[in-house]
Chains A and B, each alone.
Chain A
Amino acid sequence: MNGVHDMGGMHGMGPVVIEMDEPVFHSEWEARAYAITVAAAFHRKWNIDMSRYSRERMPPARYLAASYYERWLFGLETLLVEQGLVTATELETGCAEAKAGDVSALGASDVATFLRNRRHARLDDDVAPRFKPGERVLTHNDHPVGHTRLPRYARGKRGVIDRDHGVFIFPDTHAMTRDKKPQHCYSVRFAARELWGPGACARDSVYVDLWDDHLDAA
C-alpha cells in the first residue's frame, strides 16, 4: 500500500538526532508493549508480515504523530481482534468475557528459543531462480493496495542482481493470504542516479532485497 510507512525519499522530516546513552526503553509501558507484542505472536495466529501490515494500516496522520511503540500497540490491538484472540468489546472494556480456549502462553523458559526461531523465512523448497548475479532487472511499477516490500522509490527502476539469497517466503502474499509463495530473494543494486536523478553521487548505490515476483529481465 502507498502508505506513509513507505518513507524512503520523502522530504521535510527534519534532522536525524541521535540520543546519547539512550535507554533500551524510555518508559515502563514501552517495555510492556514490546513484550506483549512478541509474546502474543507465540500463538501463531499471525506471521511477521501480517504484523507489519497491521502497523501500516494505522491512519497516516496518526502514524506520523505516534511514537514507535504506539504503532506496535495499534498493530497488536488490530491483530488480536481480527484474528479472534480478543473481542472488540473486551478490548474496549478491558474485561475478559471468557478465557481463551485451549491455548498455552509463551513461558519464561521458552523465550530464548522463541526469539531465535520466530522470524525464520528461508524455505527448503526447490525453486529455480529466475535471475543470476550480474543480470539486469527492471522492477515492477505496481501499486498494490495491500502489503508489499517493494518500496515506492524502487518501482519501475533498473538495477542489477548483486546476490541471490536463496528461497524465501514472499511477504507480499504472506501478509495478505498467508500464501508463502516460495521464491528467490535477491539483493538488487540500484545506482543512486537511477533512483534519484543526476543530482545523486555517481559512485553511490542503494541495495534493496526483492523477490522474483517484483522483477522482470531488463
Chain B
Amino acid sequence: MSDHHHHDDDPIGEHDRPLSGPALRVKALESLLVEKGLVDPAALDELIDTFETRVGPRNGARVVARAWVDPAYKQRLLANGGAAIAELGLAGRGEEIVVLENTPKVRNMVVCTLCSCYPWSVLGLPPVWYKSAPYRSRAVIDPRGVLKELGGEIPDDVELRVWDSTAELRYLVLPERPAGTEGWSEGQLAEIVTRDAMIGVAQAAVPAGSGR
C-alpha cells in the first residue's frame, strides 16, 4: 500500500529500514481496514495533520494570555471553561473543560492515573511523560517530589491540589502571570505560556535574557 503520511525529514531513517513489531502490525491493520472500507486514508491524514500542525499548546497559551489581560474573560473562563475557550474560535465546545487558577497560595497539577485523559482541544495530544508510569503513579502520592525533580519545588506554605482526570472533564491550569510582564501584548504573553505550565508542573516565566 502507499505511504499516506509524509514527513519532510526523516531523522532516524525509519523509512529505510524494514518494518517490524508494531510498525508492521499497524501497517497491516490499516491496509485491512482500508480494504474493508472501514477507514478512509484521507481522513487518517487529516486526523494526524490536525494534531501535528493545528491543535497544540499554542491554543491553550492564547486562552491563558487572554485571561491575563482581560479580567472579565478570566471570570467567564473560570465559570465555564469550554464556552470561554470557544469564544476564541478554538474547538473547546465539544470538550468539557474546567480551568484551575493558580494563585500565590494555591498551585494546581493535573494527572490521569487510570489512562491518559488530557485536554486535546487546547493542549493537543499528551506528551510521553504525562502518559508514563512514573508520572501516573507518583503525581498523586508524591506531587511535591515530582515538582522538585522537575525543577519547580514549591514552598511548604503553598497549598497543592492534584486533579485526577477520571471523568469526561478536562482540566487546564491557569498559571500565574509572571512579574515583569507589565505592558506586554497578548501575543507576547502567549509566547511564555508553556504546555507544562498549563498541566501544572511548571510556572510561566520570563525567559532569561528577554529583551523587555
Contact = CB atoms under 8 A, between A and B. Distances in A.
Q: Do A and B associate with each other?
A: yes
Interface of A: 5-11, 13-19, 22, 24-29, 31-36, 38-40, 43, 48, 52, 55, 64, 67-70, 73, 76-77, 85-86, 90-91, 94-96, 98-100, 103, 105-108, 110-112, 115-122, 149-151, 153-154, 165, 168-169, 171, 185, 187, 195-196, 200-201, 203-211
A31 B5 contact: yes
Given A108-B45, A116-B93, A209-B165, A204 B160 contact: yes
B146 A16 contact: yes
A151 B164 contact: yes
A13 B128 contact: no
B86 to A, nearest CB: 10
Given A52-B115, A100-B38, A35 B159 contact: no
B203 interface: no
A38 B38 CA distance: 12
| Interface size band for B | 35 or more
B114 A52 contact: yes
A22 B128 contact: yes
Q: Which of A105, A106, A168 has the most CB of B within 10 A?
A: A105
Interface in B130-164: 131-141, 143-144, 146, 149-150, 156-164
Given A32-B27, A201-B144, A13 B137 contact: yes
A86 B106 CA distance: 50
A108 B42 contact: yes
A43 B38 contact: yes
Given A28-B7, A203-B159, 7 more contacts: A35-B44, A43-B38, A91-B29, A105-B39, A115-B47, A203-B157, A205-B161
B30 interface: yes
B48 A31 contact: yes
A205 B106 CA distance: 11
Interface of B: 3-5, 7, 12, 14-15, 19, 22-23, 25-33, 35-40, 42-48, 50-52, 56, 91, 93-96, 98, 111, 113-116, 120-121, 124-125, 127-129, 131-141, 143-144, 146, 149-150, 156-169, 196
A107 B43 contact: yes
A13 B134 contact: yes
Given A7-B133, A28-B23, A205-B161, A36 B30 contact: yes
A11 to B, nearest CB: 7
